[in-house]
Structure 1
């Protein structure tokens, strides 16, 4: 399978890196286009893929095409490549707010489309990706696409109506987590810890806590209770977070994120 990327930004590079590292598709069967030549040349140097400045060249030479561009550029790019997309070509999108119906209408013809929402931890092989597809994509093709996406993290198939929730809970949430890690580190610095070391303690604690949720399969509340000794230090900190509306703020932020996604 020849894989093409239209757009060669950080997410595309993360996806390609994971796919190549996992021996899912060799670098010489991947081609990418972008309007910014230095980014293309750097990616070719790092990954060994084929590059071009011509989106049509990607469309003609790829069996599977990832539209790894910003949502505002979808209209222009789809109009450019639609006439040369073959019946058996699979289009993968990664843009929030772009529904399968919207995309089908933009192409103006029957096209196999897989809608996905990855996130930036794909850059370190720990991405979380949701995927759904239109009726033209066969089950076998879905499995093939899922296998490729698993090259840079976990993948879950979801109904399209929850995609806005996916954007809020995984697509955008790394930003919230980075803010939390930064705040933890600032708190440690306030108590006298070196900043570089504080970031390590904060980040590793978040990493380990997330791994406990996934591997123990216990409810996060149970895991929290395991840390909170009666009249201890942790429950005192939890009380302060509750007093400041910690959980409510997170839920409201996700609601704002999902609403913005619906408006795009």
Structure 2
């Protein structure tokens, strides 16, 4: 699918590195197909030495010679980047943006008319190949473009295609979700210490338990409530713990957290376009 395609990254940060690593590991591309542009020379040297890819200090030059262009920069600088690269981007180039809060319309207004644009919201576990990415297609992106983008992000986790209108909700759930999970792991670790474990063992027990529970949901396809019922035997320990979670409002707190993060994402997006 990506054979003979030249791929460029504007921005060589952690997300770009995760995608480069994932694509290479999955055999989707070879190092000589990838060019990265970044303003930090040391970062370019690191990526070049680590992955044997091609560095390029000139973003416009990178944009002008690739078939697939990733915009892996912070949203605060995206407008300047678009102004810089727009004259060089070919109409046949596929542009994939992970800049949070930057709409497809914003990208289309800055880039050549008719260009295929894909907006993606990945989360930080892409760094360990276990990310969750949501993809939205611009009006000039065809189904084949979507399949190509999905294949790339599947190399670093799982992928779902959504309407752009729910991207703020994606940010609130999966984009911010790792933070909620880290809070839960940290709290369970403290609980483990409280009942007598060393912190090292408590952390391992907590993290592996959440990892295993998530894997059961994904691998079996069963509803979480059904899997919970398999653990909670009558009058047992698990149901006593679940009862306490419900009593303390943990479920409602998590729902409220996702709603709050979604609303915050909407607010930030509005400010960006003012």
Counterparts of 1:151-166 in structure 2, within 5 Å, are 151-166=155-170
Q: Which residue does 1:234 correspond to in 2?
A: 238
| Residues 18, 151 of structure 1: 8 Å contact kept | yes
Q: Distance in 2 between matches of 1:140 and 1:194?
A: 51
Q: Which residue does 1:189 correspond to in 2?
A: 193
Q: Which residue does 1:57 correspond to in 2?
A: 61
Match of 2:86 among 76, 82, 106: 82
1:221 aligns with 2:259: no
- TM superposition outliers: structure 1 runs of 4+ over 3 Å: none
Match of 1:124 among 102, 114, 128: 128
| Residues 89, 111 of structure 2: 8 Å contact kept | no
Q: Distance in 1 between matches of 2:112 and 2:252?
A: 43
TM-score normalised to structure 1 length: 0.96
Deviating more after overlay: 106-115 vs 39-48? 106-115
Q: Distance in 2 between matches of 1:139 and 1:235?
A: 46
| Residues 90, 112 of structure 2: 8 Å contact kept | no
SS in 1 for 2:117: strand
Deviation at 1:108, TM superposition (A): 6.2
Map Cα deviations across residues 61-108 of structure 1 (whole Å, 9 max, x no partner): 211111111111111101111111111001101122222112212336
1:70 aligns with 2:70: no
| Residues 96, 164 of structure 1: 8 Å contact kept | no
Equivalences, count: 264
Gaps spanning 5+ residues in structure 2: where? Answer: 270-274
Q: Distance in 2 between matches of 1:201 and 1:222?
A: 23
Q: Which residue does 1:92 correspond to in 2?
A: 96
Q: Which residue does 1:201 correspond to in 2?
A: 205
SS in 2 for 1:110: coil
Match of 1:179 among 165, 178, 183: 183
Q: Distance in 2 between matches of 1:225 and 1:145?
A: 38
Q: Which residue does 2:26 correspond to in 1?
A: 22
Aligned CA-pair RMSD: 1.3
Map Cα deviations across residues 167-198 of structure 1 (whole Å, 9 max, x no partner): 12211111111111111111111112111121
Q: Distance in 1 between matches of 2:44 and 2:180?
A: 30
SS in 2 for 1:109: coil
Q: Distance in 1 between matches of 2:20 and 2:111?
A: 25
SS in 2 for 1:83: coil
Deviation at 1:144, TM superposition (A): 1.9
Q: Distance in 1 between matches of 2:211 and 2:85?
A: 41
| Residues 36, 53 of structure 2: 8 Å contact kept | yes
Q: Distance in 1 between matches of 2:265 and 2:134?
A: 15
Q: Distance in 1 between matches of 2:115 and 2:172?
A: 28
SS in 1 for 2:135: strand
Q: Which residue does 2:272 correspond to in 1?
A: none
Deviation at 1:31, TM superposition (A): 0.8
Deviation at 1:29, TM superposition (A): 0.8
